[in-house]
Amino acid sequence: MGIGRELALVLAERGYHLGLLARKTDLLVSLKEEIKKRFPTCEVFVASCDVTQIEACQKTIGDMASALGQLDLFIANAGIGVQTPAWKSNYKHIHDILMTNVVGAIASIETAKDIMIKQGFGHVVGVSSVAGFRGLPTSSGYSTSKVALTAYLESIRLDLKKMGIGVTSIHPGFVDTPMTQKNKYAMPFIMPADQAALIIYKAIQRKKRRFIFPWQMKVLITLMRILPDCLYDALMGLFIKRLQGSKKTS
Ligand SMILES: NC(=O)c1ccc[n+]([C@@H]2O[C@H](COP(=O)([O-])OP(=O)(O)OC[C@H]3O[C@@H](n4cnc5c(N)ncnc54)[C@H](OP(=O)(O)O)[C@@H]3O)[C@@H](O)[C@H]2O)c1
């Protein structure tokens, strides 16, 4: 779905053979049919895979690499997001977010990069978020997960550089996907998923280490990262006040 689906189409159009993994097999099969119809020479491997089922998922990634012959590019895109405002009890939600966005993402990247080390080449891409730099209000689970993924990607980037394996961390702002279609709050600078996928593809081609988009979000995030805590708290406090206000009136 969402960004992953559009990235698959962008890559198929540019001659990549694809391995597509997610839990909903019916969506994977229909995407494969659509790709084969539009790009008949594209080979597409699909398999059901839940990144939280670590061992099964790691085996599926191995099967995928064997079926395709090699792994040039691995994009860890699977992710979930739900608001976890601290005035509610959220442990279960936070646990599930961390299992998918951190443990699942890292387990699958570990498998992919081990294959790449054996090959002697490859490029790992992790889809983090603009939420991956500071704790955002009402997003304790999601922000924590993306900050952790961002740090992991940065760390392996340093280690893998001398092995000829590139690592890119992608930080989208709001993208119109099933994930954000549930949101009730305003989403500034939101963009369609096909446009986001093309932007991500170009960043991958340019072997960017870290890529934040759109540019308006990049400016905002750059500012937020250097704000002292007192100013950051004041700015984010306005957002929380608005949320709590809308909660009282709803
Ligand atoms: N949309 C945004 O505004 C935005 C902004 C910043 C970052 N991101 C990040 O971009 C990535 C894609 O988000 P999206 O907006 O495209 O969301 P989406 O439309 O909800 O798609 C999420 C994808 O992840 C897969 N997935 C979820 N849990 C999984 C699991 N346990 N195992 C395997 N696959 C799983 C889903 O497939 P199944 O359900 O079939 O498993 C689906 O294909 C996420 O990492 C998200 O955090 C999104």
Residues 135-168 have pLDDT tens digits of: 999 999 999 999 999 999 999 999 999 999 999 9
pLDDT at residue 30 in the model: 98
Q: Ligand 1 atom closest to Cα of 142? A: 47
Distance CA 214, CA 201 (A): 14
User: Residue 194 falls within a domain, yes or no?
Assistant: yes
Task: Give the pocket of ligand 1 (CB within 6 Å).
Answer: 1-4, 22-24, 27, 49-52, 77-81, 100, 104, 127, 129, 172, 174-175, 177-180
pLDDT at residue 243 in the model: 65
DSSP state string for 16-37: --EEEEES-HHHHHHHHHHHHH
User: Residue 10 falls within a domain, yes or no?
Assistant: no
Instruction: Give the distance (Å) from ligand 1 centre to CA of residue 78.
Output: 4
Residues 206-218 have pLDDT tens digits of: 999 999 999 999 9
CB 234 within 8 A of CB 213: no
54 CB neighbour count, 10 Å cutoff: 17
Which structural domain range is residue 158 located in? 72-249
Distance CA 22, CA 126 (A): 15
pLDDT at residue 248 in the model: 44
Structure tokens at 195: 């446009």
Any idea what DSSP says for residue 201?
H
Residues annotated as catalytic are 142
The total number of structural domains that make up the chain:
1
User: Residue 110 falls within a domain, yes or no?
Assistant: yes
Domain CATH code at residue 130: 3.40.50.720
Short-list 39, 76, 40, CA closest to 58:
76
Instruction: Give the distance (Å) from ligand 1 centre to CA of residue 145.
Output: 13
Instruction: Give the distance (Å) from ligand 1 centre to CA of residue 39.
Output: 24
Residue found by looking up tokens 């994009």 in the block: 75
**Residue with CA at minimum distance from ligand 1 atom 34:** 22
Distance CA 95, CA 4 (A): 23
Distance CA 139, CA 21 (A): 26
User: Residue 11 falls within a domain, yes or no?
Assistant: no
| Mean per-residue pLDDT, 40-59 | 97
User: Residue 56 falls within a domain, yes or no?
Assistant: no
Instruction: Give the distance (Å) from ligand 1 centre to CA of residue 231.
Output: 32
Pocket test for ligand 1, best of 30, 54, 80 (most atoms within 8 A of CB): 80
**Number of helical H runs and strand E runs in the chain:** 10, 8
CB 211 within 8 A of CB 168: yes
User: Residue 211 falls within a domain, yes or no?
Assistant: yes
Structure tokens at 207: 């072997």
Residues 9-21 have pLDDT tens digits of: 999 999 999 999 9
pLDDT at residue 89 in the model: 93
User: Residue 103 falls within a domain, yes or no?
Assistant: yes
User: Residue 190 falls within a domain, yes or no?
Assistant: yes
Pocket test for ligand 1, best of 32, 101, 153, 175 (most atoms within 8 A of CB): 175
CB 109 within 8 A of CB 154: no
